[in-house]
Every structure is written in structure tokens, then in C-alpha cells.
Amino acid sequence: MVKLRYIPPEEVERHNTERSCWFVIADQVYDVSDYMHEHPGGYEVLLKASGGDATESFENVGHSNNARALLKPYCIGYIKGAPQNEEEDASKDDETDSRSFDRIVIYFVLLFLMTIVVNFRFTPGAVVLIAAALANEYF
């Protein structure tokens, strides 16, 4: 578990060069100095955002989930709010995955129920057949 440290805004502002490039996205501080020359948009984009809050620029570009995941290892701290750690981030991801799975299950259950309703509606004798089968089974 990696604890992130509080980094004052003044310290972030000092890291605005190609050798030391820090910026803030959603109150998280990232040191992307080692990644600058690998950035698909060019290092100039990162250099322009360095030393300040790049949240709006980052979100406006529409980065993919892969890009967001690629950013995680470069997080070195937070600029305000409560300290966070990677374990908390992982639990948030697990909750999201769990909710997605629940939605898929609910979708298929509803689909199954709708199929049954449609079949009974267009097969009038189906209810009688099922009732007779149940009666023979239990009586």
C-alpha cells in the first residue's frame, strides 16, 4: 500500500520544466518527467500543462481508459482533500466492476422474464399446460 503525500500548490508550480514536469489532475499530483517524450501528443503538451492544474485540458481531450490507467503510476500525491492510497482506488474499481456485473445480471433476468411473458401471451394454452404439469408433479 503506497501512501500519497500532501503536496502544496507552490511546490507543484516549481516543477514546470522538461526535466521536472508535475501537474494536477482532479486534485492528484502527477510527476510525468520520465514519460514526457513518450506522450502521443508530444512533450510540448505536457510541458504547457506543467506546474498547474491540467484537469480541464485532460478531460477535454477525451482520454481513453487506457490513458487514465497509464497515468496512475505517475501519481505522487494530492494537492488538497483527504490523503488517498492505491488500496482505496482499487476498492473503488472493484465497486464499479461489481455494479456493472449486477446490471448485467438484472438485464438478463428481465430479458428472461419478458420472454416468458411474451410466450404466455401468444400461447394461451401454455398456462394450462404448466398448471397441469405442476398438478401432476405435486398431487
The structure's pTM equals 0.56
Average pLDDT over residues 32-39: 90
What's the confidence (pLDDT) of residue 61?
Answer: 87
Can you tell me the distance from the alpha carbon of 98 to that of 35, in angstroms, rounded to the nearest whole number? 32
Residue 82 above 50 pLDDT?
no
How many other C-beta atoms lie within 10 A of the C-beta of residue 101? Answer: 10
Assigned architecture for domain 5-82: Roll (3.10)
Domain residue extents for the chain = 5-82, 88-138
Q: Is residue 116 within a helix (H) or strand (E), and if so which, with residue range?
A: helix 86-122
